[in-house]
Structure 1
Amino acid sequence: MKTSALIVGAGPVGLTLAIELARFGVPMRIIDKAPQRTDKSKALVLWSRSLELLERSRVSQHLVDAGYKVEGVTISADKRPIGRLTMDGLLSAYPFALMLPQSDTERILEEFLNDLGVQVDRQVELLNFNDTGEKVDARLHHADGTEEMVETSWLIGCDGAHSTVRHLLGKEFHGETSLIDWLLADIHLVDVPRTPEINIGWHSDGVLATFPISKNRYRIVADVGSAHSSSARLPEPTLADVQTVLDKRFPGGARATDAVWLSSFRINERKVADYRGGRAFLAGDAAHVHSPMGGQGMNTGMQDVCNLAWKLALVVHGRASAELLNTYSPERSPVAEAVLKVTGRITSVATVKNKLGQALRNHTASLILGMSPARKFASNLAGELSIAYSHSPLNARGKYLAPHPGERAPIRQQESPVGAGGAPQFAIFGKAEDIPTDLLLRFGSLLEPSVREPFTPEGLWVVRPDGYTALSAKSGDWHAVSTYFENIITKGSAL
C-alpha cells in the first residue's frame, strides 16, 4: 500500500493533522494501537488561538457547542482573591477558554474526520520503519497478529510522550521529572457558586486549581507532597483524599461527590531538539511535554500540526519546494521552549513552600495583576494569541507596517479565515485591485483569487494559510510579493 502521509497516533494532535491533510486533499492514513478513543477527560482546555486555527476546517463550532466557555481566571492566596484575568477582551472570535474533556474533543474530531471520508485504523501498531531518502517503508502490526508494509512519502509521529516514532528516530527527550506528587480529580462538587471561572488557589501548604467542566463537574489539581524517587509508583487518590485537600484550600466548604476520574501524576518537562528526522516528523507530546499549569500542552501540539499540514500539502501537490518542510522545527521548537519556561515558572511559583517566599509571591502577584497592561499581556499569553514566528526563515525581509512578518494576522468580523477549505493558499491584503496577471500566471495556485481589504490603506500583506503574516510591504509593491513566492516558497531559499 502507498500513501503520501502516515500519521501514527489518533489523539487530538493526530486527528487534527488528519483533518488538515484531508481538507487539503493529501492522501494519508492514520493509525493508533489503542482499540478505542480515550474515555478520560485528560487535556481539558482549548484556547483562543487553537480555535482560530481549527476554524479553517470548520470544526471549531462543533467543539464550542459541546464545551463550556470560561471567561476569567481568579487567583487567590490563603482563600482571599488577589487578582483576576479576563478573556472577554481578547481580540479574537473566541475570547474565552473552552473547557472540553479530551474524550469529547477526540470524539468530535474523529466524527468530523469520518465525514471527510477518513477512518482511523485502530489496533494497528508501528513496529519499525526505514527511511530511504525518497520514501519511508513502515512495518505495521495488526491485532490479529498479521503484519503489513506501508510505503509512504512522509511519516508523522503524533504518538504521545512514549512515542515509538521518536524512539525509532533515536531522538533524546531532554529534560527532567519533578519530584512533586500531584492529585488530579474529575469530580462533581456540591455547594459551589456556578460562575464561569478557573480558580487558582495558593495556600500555605500547596496549590489548588479548579476548572469548571459542566454543571457541577470540575477538574481538581493539587500538589500533595514531595517524592523521594521518580521511579516510585504513585497510589491513586480517593474521594476522601480530594475532600481533605478541598477542606484545607478551597474557600466556601465545597463537597466532592461522584468521581468521574481520579489519578496521580508527576510533572515531566522534556523536549527534543529537532522535530524532524529525514522524512519523519514529531508533533505534540512526542516532541515536547510540559507542566499542565496553563493547559498549554494539547494546544501546542494541535498548533504544531496546523503549522506542518499546509507545508506538507504544498510539497505533496508539487506547489512548493521540499525545503519548505525545513521551516517546521525552527518555527515550532521555540514555541514549545517558551511554553516549557512559562509553565515551569508558574509551577515553581505556585508550589513555593517557604513562608517568606509565599508572602513575597502573594504581594508581587497582587501588584502585577492590579496593572491593566500586565493583565492584558497575561490574557493574550494564556489564549496563545501572542505566539509569533519572529525569526522564521519564511518571513520576508522588512517590517513596513504591522502586522509584521511572523506575527498573527487578525481576522476581522464577517471575514472568513485565511485558507479556509480547499488547497492551501496565501491571502493578499491590499487595496481593492486585481492581482497582476503575471503574478497569477506564475503563482495563481498559491494565491486566493481576490484581494482582501488591507489592515491599513498604505500597506500590502501576504498572509500564510495558517494565518501568520509572511510579508508586509507598501501598497502596490507587487514586485515584493513576486520575489517572495519565487525565492521563499518555490525555490526554498532565503530572501
Structure 2
Amino acid sequence: MDGLPAWADVIIVGAGPTGLVLACELQRRNVDYLLLDREEYCVTSSRALGVQARSIEIFEDLGVVEEALANGVQMHGERLFVDGAVAVDWDFDKCDSPYAYPLILEQSETERILFTRLLELGGKDCIKRPVEVKKIHIGRLPDEGVSVMVEALPGTKEVDDDQVETHVPPEEFVPPSKTIRGRYIVGCDGARSIVRKACGIPFPGSTLPNEFIVADVRIKWGVPNEVNKFNLMSANGRMICCLPLTKNRWRLITIRRTGVSDGEIVLDPSYYTKAPTREELQTLVQKVVPGSLIDEVLWGSCYSINSRCAAAFKHHNAFIAGDAAHIHPPLGHQGMNVGIQDAHNLGWKLALVVNGGAMSSLLDTYDQERRPVGESIVYYTSVGYKELIEAKGWVKWSMKNVLPMVFSINAVNRALSHSMSMTSIRYPPSLDETLVGRSHIPGAIQPGQRAPDAYLGMINEKRGTEFVRLHQLLATPHSSLLLLVRVPMTGESEQKGFIGWLGEMLGAHQARKDPGVARALESAVHLSADVSRRTGVPSRSPHTGTRLLLIFTAGKASIVPSVTRRKDGMEGGSLLHMLQNVHQHFARSIGLSREDLLIAWDVDGEVVKNYKLATQLDPFDHSGAFVSIRPDGYVSHHGLMDDHEATDSYIAALDKLF
C-alpha cells in the first residue's frame, strides 16, 4: 500500500471499459487521478462484444481507432430464426459516420487496447490494483471532497530489483489499509456499485426471474458461420443468441430460469450463481437447435437480467457511470457503449473544473445530459423483453408474420440502424445555456447534436493541401470553433472567378466588391478574439484553449486552389497571399500562432451539406456562420456571423462557464 498516494483530485473506482476511458480522458488533460480496481488484471474473457459507431468515433478521439478496427470485425446485420427457419434477415443501414457499421470487438481486446493507450499517455503510476474499496465518505460541498478507505487484496504485486514479480500467498496475507482523499469520486464499478450505495442513490427498476448464460464454446451445428451477422434463434419457448468469433469458436447467450426476481438479492455482492457446465449448455442448446453438439466450453459466466436506471448520476462530489448507473437487456448491443459515452461526457468536464478554472456547477450537466440517455435506453431495450425471450403465442406468431414486413420498410431499417449506432443522441439545452445553447439557425444541425464529419482540404503555406476528415481535426482534448465563410464561384462575383477574389479579401477594394464575405471574415476575427480572451488557445492554455478552424466553402464540391507561389503572380500566388493575409489579420487581432488557426477548404461541400447550412449561406448576404464544438464532439452553440444575438449568447455562455 506504500505506492498509494494520500491525495488524488479524482478517484475512479473500476477499471473496466468505462473506467479506462475516463482515465484516458483525465490523463491526456493532465488531471491528478487514481484508478482503483479489485481485479489484478484486465479481463481475459470476451463478455461485451458490440462497439457502436459513436463509440468507435470516441476511440478515434482517444487515438485507438486503428487498433480497434484491426482487432474487430464489422457487423453488417442480424438474423432471426423461428423454429429453424429465417424469419428476418436484417442488413443494417449505413449510419452517418465514417464508421458505418458496428464492430464486434471482444471486451478483453477493448480493455487491452484502452489499458495500453493509458500507459502510452503516461498513466502507469495512476493505476492501483488489486485493491478493494471498503469505505467511502462523500462531502456535501465542493471543498469538502471525498475520502476512500482501501485494502490491498491477495496477489498484490511486488517487484524486486530484478523486475521479477512475486505474489503474496493468500494464507500469509494480512490486508493493509489506507485512506485516500480527493475532490471527486467516480463509480465505474458495475451493477453492484459500492459508490452508488455509498451515495444512497436509488436504483429503481425490475429483475426478471431468469439470468443470462454467456459462454464461448466450440460447437458442431448447422447455424450459418457468417462472422458479419448476429443470430437470434427461437424455438420451444427458448431463445439463443450466437455469433461466430472465429472459424470454430462461438459466443452463445441463452437463458437460465432461476425464479429469483428480487433486485436486493441479485445485486448483493455476495450473490453467486454457478458458471454453466457443458452438460447444461448442451441441454439448453438442444431445445432450440436439435442435433447440436458442444465439444468444449472455453469460458462461461452468468448474470441476472435487470432493467434499472439510477435516480441520479451525481450526488454531491460523487458520480456514477456505466453499469453502476444503468443496466438493461442486451438488445441492440448498447450496454458497454453507454458507459463509454458516459465517461467521454464526464472526463472533459472534470478536467475543466479541476485544472481549467471552470465553475463546479458545470458538473451538474453530467446528470442532466446522460441520465435521460440511460433512462431511454433502459426503457426501449426492456419493453416486451420477457415476452420476446419466451416467444410464445402471439409473440411467436408476430415474429414469423409481422416482423418480416416491418424490417422490409426502408424507413424502419434506417431509423433502427441509426438509433442503434448512437450517433443521433441529442442533449437538451442547458438550464443556463452554457454547454448547449438555443437554436439560432432553423433547419441546421442544432446545439446538443453530435457534430457531423466532413471531408476537408487543409491549406498550408508550406505543404500545400492535405486532405483530412473534420473528425480527425476534432480529435484533441480541446473545444473547437468552426468559422465558415461562403466564397463566390465564377459567375457569382463581379471579379473573374473566386481565385481573383481571394487575393485582396481583406482589402477595402474587395469589401466594395463582395461586402458580405468581407463582413463575415471580419466577424470571424472578432468572434475568435472574444472567445480566445475567455478560453485561451491550445498553445497557451492547454487545459481550456479553443482551437480555431477557418473553413472556406463554395457551397458545393469544388477544386481546392493551389497554394504554390507562381512566378507570374497568378492564381496560386493569390491564394498564398490570402493565407498570409488571414494569418496576419488574426495574429494582429488575437495574437495567434499559426498552429492555433487551421485553414481548410470544404472540398465536397460536406460542411455546408452535413451541417445543413446550404440555404442559410450565400456570398453576398449571410456569408458566414460559426459552430462551437465541445471536446466530446457535440455542438454547443451556433449562429450566423452577422447575428449579434447568437454571438452574444455564445460569449455570455463562456462568461458563465469561466
Using the size of structure 2 for normalisation, the TM-score is: 0.70
The 8 Å contact of residues 182 and 265 in structure 1, kept in 2 or not, is answered as yes
Tell me what 1:491 maps to.
656
2:470 equivalent to 1:440: no
Match of 1:130 among 137, 148, 155: 137
1:464 aligns with 2:627: no
| Range with greater deviation from structure 2 (263-272 or 111-120) | 263-272
Relative to structure 2, which stretch is displaced further, 88-97 or 337-346? Answer: 88-97
TM-superposed CA distance for 1:235, in Å, is 4.6
Please report how far the alpha carbon of residue 180 of structure 1 lies from its aligned counterpart in structure 2 after TM superposition: 2.4
Letter in 1 for 2:637: L
Look up the match of 1:374.
Answer: 412
SS of residue paired to 2:448: coil
Structure of larger gyration radius: 2
Task: Determine the C-alpha separation between the residues in 1 that align with 2:337 and 2:384.
Answer: 17
1:288 equivalent in structure 2: 326
CA contact (8 A) 1:188 1:256 kept: yes
Name the CA shift for 1:472/1:418 in 2 (closer, same or farther; >3 Å). farther
> 8 Å contact 2:93–2:413 — kept in the other structure?
no
Pair 1:183 & 2:183 matched: no
Contact map agreement 1:392 1:406 (CA 8 A) in 2: no
Once the 2 structures are TM-superposed, how far is the Cα of residue 294 of structure 1 from its aligned partner?
Answer: 2.5
Asked if the contact 2:278/2:297 (under 8 Å) is kept, the reply is yes
> Which whole-Å CA distance do the structure 1 matches of 2:387 and 2:327 have between them?
19
Task: Say if 1:13 and 1:283, in contact at 8 Å, map to a contact too.
Answer: yes
Query: Secondary structure, in 3 states, of the residue corresponding to 2:87?
Result: strand
Contact 1:428 1:447 in 2 (8 A): no
Q: Of 67, 71, 74, which residue of structure 2 is paired with 1:69? A: 74
Structure 1 equivalent of residue 447 of structure 2 = 405
Q: Partners in 1 of 2:98 and 2:74 — Cα distance?
A: 13
Instruction: Using the TM superposition, give the Cα deviation of residue 460 of structure 1 relative to its aligned residue in structure 2, in angstroms.
Output: 3.0
Secondary structure class of the residue paired with 2:530: helix
For residues 273 and 194 of structure 2, what CA distance do their matches in structure 1 show?
24
Confirm whether residue 317 of structure 1 aligns to residue 355 of structure 2.
yes
Quick one: structure 1 residues 204 and 380, their matched pair in 2 at CA, closer, same or farther if it must change by over 3 Å?
Answer: farther
Structure 2 residue runs of 5 or longer lacking an equivalent are: 1-5, 154-173, 267-271, 456-467, 487-520, 538-544, 552-601, 618-624
Give the Cα–Cα distance (whole angstroms) in 2 for the partners of residues 399 and 337 of structure 1: 29
Distance 1:219 1:90 in 2: 26
- Stretch moving more, 307-316 or 410-419: 410-419
CA distance in 1, matches of 2:225, 2:306: 32
RMSD over aligned Cα, in angstroms? Answer: 2.6
Which shows bigger deviation, 227-236 or 182-191?
A: 227-236
The answer to whether the Cα contact below 8 Å between 1:39 and 1:103 also exists between their aligned partners in 2 is: yes
Of 141, 146, 154 in structure 1, the residue corresponding to residue 151 of structure 2 is 141
Deviation at 1:418, TM superposition (A): 7.0
Q: Deviations over 1:315-369 (max 9, x none)?
A: 1223422211110011101111111111112623522443233213432211210
SS in structure 1 at match of 2:469? coil
Q: Distance in 2 between matches of 1:326 and 1:115?
A: 31
Question: Cα–Cα, structure 1 residues 294 and 438, in superposed 2: closer, same or farther, change >3 Å?
Answer: closer
**Structure 1 gaps, min length 5:** none
Which gives a bigger RCO, structure 1 or 2 (Cα 8 Å, sep 6+)? 1
Q: Distance in 1 between matches of 2:278 and 2:295?
A: 7
- Contact 1:210 1:221 survives alignment (8 Å): yes
Choose from 308, 328, 344 the match for 1:306. Answer: 344
Instruction: Indicate how the Cα distance of structure 1 residues 22 and 478 shifts in structure 2: closer, same or farther if over 3 A, else same.
Output: farther
Deviations 1:272-311 (A, max 9, x none): 1111111111111111111123221111111101001111
Cα–Cα, structure 1 residues 39 and 314, in superposed 2: closer, same or farther, change >3 Å?
Answer: same
TM-superposed deviation, 1:153: 1.9
Query: Matches of residues 193-204 of structure 1 in structure 2 within 5 Å?
Result: 193-195=224-226, 196-204=228-236
1:330 correspondence with 2:368? yes
Query: Following TM superposition, by how much is the alpha carbon of 1:27 offset from its aligned partner in structure 2, in angstroms?
Result: 1.8
Counting matched residue pairs gives 491
User: 1:472, CA displacement in angstroms?
Assistant: 3.0
2:47 corresponds to 1:45: no
SS state at 2:225 partner: coil
Please tell me whether residue 240 in structure 1 is matched to residue 294 in structure 2: no
Matched, 1:278 2:316: yes
C-alpha distance in 2 between matches for 1:161 and 1:63: 26
The residue aligned with 1:117 is 122
Match of 2:558 in 1: none
Does the 8 Å CA contact 1:5/1:154 hold for their aligned counterparts?
Answer: yes
1: distance between equivalents of 2:7 and 2:138? Answer: 14
Task: Provide the C-alpha distance between the structure 2 equivalents of 1:202 and 1:189, rounded to a whole number of angstroms.
Answer: 18
Amino acid at match of 1:302: I
Q: Kindly tell me: are residues 99 and 407 of structure 1, through their superposed partners in 2, closer, same or farther at Cα, counting changes over 3 Å?
A: same
CA distance in 1 between counterparts of 2:424 and 2:29 reads 27
C-alpha deviation, 1:387, in angstroms: 1.6
**Contact 1:177 1:267 (C-alpha < 8 Å) held by counterparts:** yes
Q: Which moved more, 1:165-174 or 1:137-146?
A: 137-146
Which deviations, in whole Å up to 9, do the C-alpha atoms of 1:436-477 show, x marking residues without a partner?
233332333442122345433524322211111212322444
Stretch moving more, 215-224 or 427-436: 427-436
Deviation string for 1:228-266 (max 9, x for gaps)? 665696554332333344444349x65433321123333
Using the TM superposition, give the Cα deviation of residue 140 of structure 1 relative to its aligned residue in structure 2, in angstroms.
Answer: 2.4
Is 433-442 or 270-279 further displaced after alignment? 433-442
**Residues 352-390 of structure 1, C-alpha deviation per residue, up to 9 Å, x if partnerless?**
443233213432211210100101111112221222113
Q: 2:208 touches 2:386 (CA, 8 Å); kept in 1?
A: no
Paired letter, 2:454: R
Measure, in 1, the Cα distance between the counterparts of 2:428 and 2:15.
Answer: 31
Aligned to 1:152: 182
How many Å separate the matches in 2 of 1:476 and 1:69?
44
1:428 matched to which residue of 2? Answer: 482
Partner of 1:166: 196
Q: Larger deviation: 21-30 or 202-211? A: 202-211
Q: Shift of residue 93 of structure 1?
A: 1.8
Q: Give the equivalent residue in structure 1 for 2:237.
A: 205
How has the CA–CA distance of structure 1 residues 357 and 86 changed in structure 2, closer, same or farther, with 3 Å as cutoff? Answer: closer
Shift of 1:65: 1.4
Q: Which residue of 2 aligns with 1:105?
A: 110
The amino acid of 1:177's aligned partner reads T
More off after superposition, 385-394 vs 43-52: 385-394
* Cα distance in 2 between the residues matched to 1:264 and 1:409: 38
TM-score (norm: length of structure 1): 0.91
> 1:426–1:464: 8 Å Cα contact kept in structure 2?
yes
Q: Following superposition of structure 1 onto structure 2, how do residues 85-104 of structure 1 map, counting pairs within 5 Å?
A: 85-87=90-92, 89-104=94-109
Q: Give me the whole-angstrom Cα distance separating, in 2, the residues matched to 1:236 and 1:417.
A: 43
SS in 2 for 1:213: strand
Q: Aligned equivalents of 1:249 and 1:435: distance in 2?
A: 66
